[in-house]
Amino acid sequence: MADAPRPTAGIDTPDRRGRTGLDRHGRDLDGNPRVRIRDVEVLSSDWFVLRKTTFDYRHSDGHWSREQRETYDRGDGATVLLYDERRRTVLLTRQFRLPAYVNGHPDGMLLETAAGLLDDDDPETAIRREAAEETGHEIGEVRHVFAVYMSPGSVTERLHFFAAPYESPPRAGTHGVAAEGEDITAVELPFAEALAMIRTGGIADAKTVMLLQWAALEGPFAR
């Protein structure tokens, strides 16, 4: 007699984040009549979730094909550009990013706007939390700028973009949640210098580039 299949963490039993049923995500989607979800397989759920989805797709000429795509689900996130309109400065963060380091960045130390995952919070609550953790600043009124999918070919994350004023220079020392291995430095730059660093490659983080360009075109530093 064959042994019963062993239960799988994240599907039959809770994984280390207490989740089950991760293979059901997306199976009930019916918003696009050209897409029929056939199967969802969980490849990994160590912390975030990597899935392989099989679906039928009706092409523009009417024929159907069977397709497979992998999606990486890390939840949605939020980011904020902190700016001082009077002094014409912005407050960014610098931290090590392994994926950038292994893909050609000289040292992996990226200049970025403060950001983080929503977890169980709404976007505004989350970005207030992240700004305090990463820069040491409690921010006041925030402006929601837009929300976009940052890498829709493979990553499910939708990122909410905010802007908020700050008044005092960054505090010395490092920031972040030590238990999560964060070692973050707050960096204040003249806005013109930060904008120029996009062209030179000194700022190579997409969300930061988007917010700096927004600030120049429509935001606090628009002419």
Question: Where residue 153 sits, what CATH number does that domain have?
Answer: 3.90.79.10
Range in 18-22, 50-54, 159-163 with the lowest mean pLDDT: 18-22
- Asked whether the predicted pLDDT for residue 68 surpasses 70, the reply is yes
pLDDT of residue 169: 72
Per residue in 127-168, pLDDT (tens digit) is: 999 999 999 888 989 999 999 999 999 999 999 999 999 987
Residue 147 assigned to a binding site = no
Residue 70 assigned to a binding site = no
pLDDT of residue 3: 63
Do both 87 and 32 map to the same domain?
Answer: no
Domain boundary among 73, 99, 132: 73
Do both 81 and 62 map to the same domain?
Answer: no
Residue 115 assigned to a binding site = yes
Do both 49 and 87 map to the same domain?
Answer: no
* Per-residue tokens: 107: 């040292």
Give the count of domains, the chain: 2
Residue 188: exposure state from Cβ atoms within 10 A (0-12, 13-18, ≥19): middle
Best CA proximity match to 146, nearest among 163, 166, 129: 163
Do both 152 and 203 map to the same domain?
Answer: yes
Residue 138 assigned to a binding site = no
Where in the sequence is the domain holding 129, given as residue range(s)?
A: 77-217
Range in 5-14, 73-82, 146-155 with the lowest mean pLDDT: 5-14
Instruction: Please tell me the number of Cα atoms within 13 Å of 156 on its side-chain side.
Output: 17
Do both 31 and 105 map to the same domain?
Answer: no
Range in 52-56, 183-187, 201-205 with the lowest mean pLDDT: 183-187
| Nearest 10 degrees: Cα torsion 18, 20, 148, 150 | 90
CA 109 – CA 174 distance, rounded (Å): 14
Do both 40 and 113 map to the same domain?
Answer: no
